[in-house]
Every structure is written in structure tokens, then in C-alpha cells.
Amino acid sequence: MDRFEAMSMLLAVVEQGSLSAAGRTLRVPVPTLSRKLSDLEALLGTRLLIRTTRKLSLTDAGIAYVAAARRILEQLDEAEREAAGEYTEPKGDLVITAPILFGRLHVLPVVADFLAEFPEIDVRLALSDRNVDLVGDQVDMAVRIGALADSSMIATRVGSMRSVVCGSPDLLARHGDPATPDDLARFPCVGVDVFSPGFSGTTWQMRMPGAKTPVAVPIRPRLLVSTAEAAAQAAVMSVGLTRLLHYQVADAVAAGTLRIVLADHEIAPAPINLIHAGRGQLPLKMRRFLDFAAPRLRERARPF
């Protein structure tokens, strides 16, 4: 059997939390994945996984083996990169992920300039509002907006982003400007109904007078949408106030079709970081992109 393949499959199952999720990620049928893991356990002469209908967990032997397998595969990956010349000249494939709208507006132009500068490097830019697992999904680098949950990642700060409440001039003319977050109760609102820290369909995080931490302020969502672009467009159409990251409404604010309110009650701006997994020496393709992209993204993020 191919032990490296079996190790990779085991790590995918552990990281994804189930055989079916790992099968989708690896594009391997679940029966094949299950058989490979069983063959690995037979080779080792011990159980690695405890599988039930509801959950999957590692045995003590599995915990130790997974840690060793991760080290081995990382060393193998580094050896292959070195043999391919990725530590001696900038070349190869680079996988980058970023939020959809921020990626389209700000990361894509930087990537386009980078490709012109480095003809031996090819980029796959995956735009998604889901925070992907860099190691599990084999992503080299990510643009993240917000606090970083994983302290094992190496982060390069490139800016910060305000969270703003805004509405159309017509809506504000009819209802008046809210003076405090408590005034939001009398306004129709547009909520973004996605799983994102700090963004709820029925509450908005705001800074209240005298409060040391942000407060979840209830709102009356006349409309819930699943994307920031839809929320901004609905706000322009006077459906209600909306609360979004500044870059998501910057064009509408500049055009005068949206106006920011409650600026004195905004929470602290969210950090923008370029992150990558900590794994010792960086391949030159990643080092070149980091050095190229960081100052350009800082410049693009400066207005926010």
C-alpha cells in the first residue's frame, strides 16, 4: 500500500471531521477511503480511529500517529519543493484565498500585477467568504479580515477595516438620522444572514457610551440577505439601514447613494492580514508574493 497516500487520507479525515467530508475534499469515494484506512490500521496492527454513526475520534495510538504523519508529510512536501527549485528561484503554483468582494476589488488587481512581474509563477485565486483551512485545503496564503482564531498562522498586517452603518439619503430624510444605537429600534434594517463573527441577522455589534466592550444591539430586519453586495444594494434602494464592512459600501458612499451614520459608535476596525502556515523557510514564490502584495494591499486599504 502507499503509506504516504494513506497518511494524507487519515489527516484529511481528522481535519474534516468525517469520512464523507474528507471524501468530498479529496474527491475519493467514501468506501475507498474507508478501505484505505482499514488497510493502514491492519498494517500497523492497531486501531487509529473510533467510528460511530454520530462522530469520529482518534484512539491514543491514532493521536500519536497523526502527529507523526503530519510531520512526515510536511517534511516530504518541503523536500519536494526544494527538489523542484522553489527555494532557489520563484516559480510554481501559488494558491491564494480572499473574501469574495474584497478579493475581486483589491486582491485581484495585485495578483494581476504580480503575474506580470513573475512569469514563472501561476496563481489560483479562490474567492470565498468562508475561512478555509489553509493546511487541509492546501492553500499557500490567505487574506483575512477580522481577528485571527488560529495562533499557529503567521500573519502580516496590511491594514484595518471599519464596520459602518449606512442608509440611503431618502430613507434618512424620512426617518431622520439615528443619534444613538438605541435609535436603530425604530428603523427598518437589512441584515446579512451568514455565519460571520460580529455579523448577525438580528443584532449588530456597536460601541455604547460607558461600555468597555461592544454591545449586541437588536435590530428590526425587514430583509435578510446572504451576501454583502445584496445588502448594500437593498440599502441603496431604501429598504433599510445596513451594517457592513466599509469596502463593501465604499463606492456607494462615494457616489452619495449611501450615507454613513452612527460613526461615533463603530466598534474598533477589524485587522486585515495576509496569513500563511508556519513551516520554516518559505518557498520563494510565497516570499515574493508576500513582499510584492503587502505594501500594495496596505496602499489599497488605506482609505478604510
Separation of alpha carbons 209 and 40, rounded Å: 60
Strands 92-98, 121-127: pairing is parallel
Separation of alpha carbons 111 and 215, rounded Å: 38
Residue 280: pLDDT band with limits 50, 70, 90: low
Separation of alpha carbons 254 and 198, rounded Å: 25
Domains in the chain with CATH codes: 3-83 (1.10.10.10), 92-156+272-301 (3.40.190.10), 163-265 (3.40.190.10)
Residue 239 has pLDDT above 90, yes or no: yes
Question: Could you tell me which residue, 122 or 36, shows the higher pLDDT?
Answer: 122
- Global pTM? 0.68
Please choose, from the candidates 78, 75, 58, 142, the residue with its C-alpha nearest in 3D space to the C-alpha of residue 107: 142
pLDDT score of 58: 87
Q: What is the pLDDT of residues 43-73, one digit of tens each?
A: 888 888 887 766 788 888 888 888 888 888 7
Q: Which set of grid coordinates corresponds to residue 34?
A: 474507508
Q: What is the pLDDT of residues 10-26, one digit of tens each?
A: 888 888 888 888 888 78
Residue 84 has pLDDT above 80, yes or no: no
Question: Could you tell me which residue, 136 or 297, shows the higher pLDDT?
Answer: 297
When computed from its CA atoms, the radius of gyration of the chain, rounded to whole angstroms, is 23
pLDDT score of 27: 83
Q: Amino acid identity, residue 59? A: T
Q: What is the residue whose three cell numbers read 439619503?
A: 169
